[in-house]
């Protein structure tokens, strides 16, 4: 079995940017991509340099993969279930038991988003329904906004949006009551609180219009945020390899993105930092640069990890 220079687990923005950089180094690289990350969901990123009218997540992924493939990077649509070190190589085993060996490993497995079970919202993601207030709070400025959430997660997000709009309705779709202190804060800031489930979002194309609640109430709005809580940080492979975590996320060196495990790097939303598309791309490029340097025999600085 041939040994790859580099293996990347995850084909989102971090993994793709790393793949492009490694391809330009002419490193023999393989990417494992299950095609189910956050970037497959968002139809419009409006906070990226050069895309004032928004960039489509799936289209960016398609372009990025094609760009990497032109540089000789290989892609496999398989899920890696097991990762282990054997001497100087890492052995990655997919769900069908097929092994792949590589000298360097980048984990870019991201986060599994917990969205409400309301499929009508999916075409609106990035256009009029959002998940990240740092990315898209701007879009709610002066507009009536519904937070479809659960418990403390929904309350916290509603409070963040007060910076942008004073017309917010928090619909506790999940039914888990927030703490009393959170309820008081909602009331103090004029945020309407409704503890009922959403039967159906009302949308037209990519435009969110409001929600129909279980008791028949209709609430109209211009946009919505989801905040159900319980997003899953995909650290299973990292844990198998003994990579250190910071909270639920992987801890990686700020300069090199190498983890505490030599020759294992991490990039993107799996890393403990602000979850942004632009940052994920930067992480991927940083990791790839130091993966290449290490293959040249240059010692990677120990840094902060």
The pLDDT-based confidence of 301 (bands split at 50, 70, 90) is confident
Residue 303 has pLDDT above 80, yes or no: no
Average pLDDT estimate for 129-133 = 96
pLDDT score for 161 = 98
CA distances from 116 to 32, 121, 122, 261, 295 (A): 27, 9, 10, 36, 44
- Reported as half-sphere exposure (CB side, CA atoms, 13 A), residue 247 has a value of 7
Residue 274 has pLDDT above 80, yes or no: no
49-71 pLDDT, tens digit per residue, is 999 999 999 999 999 999 999 99
Helix H or strand E segment including 212: strand 207-213
- Reported as half-sphere exposure (CB side, CA atoms, 13 A), residue 103 has a value of 15
| Entry pTM | 0.95
Mean pLDDT for all residues in the chain: 95
| 207-213 sheet: strands from edge to edge | 198-204, 207-213, 218-220
Q: And the tokens for 229?
A: 């809580």
Radius of gyration of the chain (CA): 21
The pLDDT-based confidence of 38 (bands split at 50, 70, 90) is confident
237-273 pLDDT, tens digit per residue, is 999 999 999 999 999 999 999 999 999 999 999 997 7
The pLDDT-based confidence of 275 (bands split at 50, 70, 90) is confident
Looking up tokens 């790097």 gives: 265
The pLDDT-based confidence of 210 (bands split at 50, 70, 90) is very high
pLDDT score for 37 = 85
Residue 213 has pLDDT above 80, yes or no: yes
198: β partners: 213
pLDDT score for 291 = 98
pLDDT score for 131 = 95
pLDDT score for 272 = 78
pLDDT score for 289 = 98
Residue 228 has pLDDT above 60, yes or no: yes
Q: How far apart are CA 147 and CA 120, in angstroms?
A: 15
Average pLDDT estimate for 92-117 = 96
Contact predicate 7/273, CB 8 Å? no
Residue 221 has pLDDT above 90, yes or no: yes
- Percent of the chain topping pLDDT 70: 98
Residue 304 has pLDDT above 70, yes or no: no
pLDDT score for 164 = 97
């Amino acid at each position: 079995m041939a040994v790859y220079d580099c293996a990347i687990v995850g084909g989102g923005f971090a993994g793709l940017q790393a793949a492009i950089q490694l391809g330009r180094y002419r490193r023999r690289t393989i990417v494992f991509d299950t095609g189910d990350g956050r970037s497959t969901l968002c139809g419009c990123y409006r906070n990226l340099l050069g895309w004032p009218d928004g960039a489509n997540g799936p289209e960016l992924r398609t372009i990025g993969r094609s760009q990497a493939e032109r540089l000789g990077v290989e892609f496999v649509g398989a899920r890696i279930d097991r990762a282990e070190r054997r001497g100087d190589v890492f052995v990655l085993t997919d769900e069908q038991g097929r092994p792949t060996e590589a000298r360097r490993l980048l984990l870019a497995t991201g986060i599994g988003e917990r969205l409400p079970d309301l499929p009508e919202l999916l075409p609106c993601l990035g256009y009029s329904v959002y998940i990240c207030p740092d990315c898209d709070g701007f879009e709610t400025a002066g507009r009536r906004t519904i937070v479809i959430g659960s418990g403390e997660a929904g309350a916290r997000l509603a409070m963040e949006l007060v910076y942008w709009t004073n017309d917010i309705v928090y619909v506790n779709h999940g039914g888990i009551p927030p703490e009393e202190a959170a309820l008081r804060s909602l009331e103090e800031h004029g945020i309407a609180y409704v503890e009922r489930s959403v039967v159906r979002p009302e949308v037209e194309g990519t435009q969110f219009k409001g929600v129909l609640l279980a008791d028949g109430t209709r609430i109209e709005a211009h946009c919505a945020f989801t905040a159900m809580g319980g997003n899953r940080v995909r650290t299973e492979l990292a844990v198998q390899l003994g990579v250190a975590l910071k909270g639920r996320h992987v801890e990686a060196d700020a300069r090199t993105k190498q983890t505490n495990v030599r020759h294992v790097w991490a990039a993107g939303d799996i890393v403990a930092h602000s979850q942004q598309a632009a940052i994920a791309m930067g992480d991927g490029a940083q990791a790839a640069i130091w993966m290449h340097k290490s293959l040249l025999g240059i010692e990677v600085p120990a840094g902060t990890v």
